Amino acid sequence: MNKQHYDNMIILLTITCLISFTYSCRNSHDRSRQTKEIIGTAIKKENKIDTVIFYLENSESMFGYVNGLTEYVQVVSELSEKPDFASEKTKREFNFINGGNQLQVNRLGNDPSILRAKLNMVGFNCGDIRNSNLNLMFQIALEKAQNNTISILISDAIYDSPLNILPTEANETRSKFISRLENGDIQTLLIKLTSNFKGNYFYSSHSGSTFINHPRPFYVWIFGKSELLNKYFPEEYISGKLKGFENYARFLILKENAIPYQITASINRKGDFRPSHTNKNQLNQAGLRHGEFQFSNAVDFSSLPFSDSYLTDTINYSSSNLNFKITKVEKIKENQKHEVTSFTHPTHIVTIHTDKDPKGLLEIVLKNEIPDWIKQTDINNEAMIDNTHTFGFKFLTDAISEAYSHENKGKKLAKFNIEIK
């Protein structure tokens, strides 16, 4: 082989290798891009509601809510036509639900306009309107909330039983929730609303009814994966878009996430101390001044899907050292954020105070408590029925709370460990 021919062979082999390498890299890039697209599609699908199933109780006790263009009618219309559902073409199924031991589900189809046409005294009159069974309603709604399907139950939340039977009813409710929670993650979002009501109130504690013409509370329960309910039903939407909104609560299986926190150097400061340079949650040279010692934690509560009223209520906090009290929890101000260097997005300031020797280890806990508004809603005397109370509400909400507590086994929403030297 002469030198010219040899050189030509070398050039040809080099070009072939370059082509092969370029093609291989392109294929690798294409495969990588395709893999990312597949993963991205899966993630996108995971965070999207596929189906929403509505259950509207339409027993006789509910007729007063659809006597005219009430807040109840507007809330149902808003939820059925939620902008996210419309833009994402989310499948919706609408049902009336009533009846006693033989629960009746009356399917209305998937067209919101057909549902709206039924939100009146005539349209509500179908099925066994004389009876309702809250436990069976919960069972159906809970069972339907699987994978990326959520369910919505709308009711006046009144057990169709006298007071002495309510503990038994509540135990059944608790069992149904425990059974469902054991089958996977599900959050219960409870929303209290008030609507004009003109119709008969049917007593649970005794037979008979009375005509009333004044606002009455009603409730929306939404069941589904926490990631879906947190995304589609944030506080801004619930309080801003649902007419007659009063309050809300979330019941969920807790994950003990590490909530970021850091002691601040000067916010709400009283007494003597020096923040440690090596440990953001340690104070050195601590002591009283004028009989007081106080410091603050900056925290990031953005991962907790709870109302700001819950996060800022000091009654929901506890201290391992009874000499310390949480005196204030408030949203952090812009001019305070510069003190936080160990994490990026502080949301609140937790202020802690004592008039005793501060030295020692301290654990501050944000508890998973039933909100006060739930306790204040309950009433056991139906003669006192008014605009805000619901008969036997405590039995119902205690049952739900106890089911989640059983599953959570003492987990806390947040813990802050502090060392004071």
The tens digit of pLDDT for each residue in 182-217 reads 888 899 999 999 999 999 999 987 788 999 999 999
Taking each helix axis as running N to C, give the angle between helix 134-144 and helix 166-181, from 0 to 180 degrees, rounded to the nearest 10.
10
161 is in which domain, residue-wise? 51-254+393-408
pLDDT band at 36 (very low <50, low <70, confident <90, very high): very low
pLDDT band of 9, cuts 50, 70, 90: low
Which contiguous run of DSSP H or E holds residue 303? none
Report d(CA 298, CA 300) in Å as an integer: 7
Shared-domain flag, residues 397 and 357:
no
Residues 184 and 237 in one domain: yes
Shared domain for 111 and 170, answered yes or no, is yes
Residue closest to 176 by CA, chosen among 224, 223, 139: 139
User: How many domains are there within the chain?
Assistant: 2
Which SS3 state, helix, strand or coil, does residue 210 take? strand
Q: Are residues 90 and 225 in the same domain?
A: yes
Q: What is the mean pLDDT of residues 252-270?
A: 90
Are both 315 and 212 inside the same structural domain?
A: no
Band of pLDDT at residue 34, cut at 50, 70 and 90: low
The pTM assigned to this predicted structure is: 0.83
Residue at 223 is within a domain: yes
At 43 the pLDDT is 43
Domain-embedded: residue 402: yes
Q: How does residue 38 score in pLDDT terms, banded at 50, 70 and 90?
A: very low
Q: Which helix (H) or strand (E) holds 116?
A: helix 112-117
Question: Do 63 and 154 have their domain in common?
Answer: yes
Residue 164 confidence (pLDDT) above 60 = yes
Q: What is the pLDDT of residue 384?
A: 77
Residues 168 and 295 in one domain: no
Q: What integer pLDDT is reported at residue 39 of this predicted model?
A: 43
Q: How confident is the model at residue 335 (pLDDT cuts 50, 70, 90)?
A: very high
One domain for residues 199 and 277: no
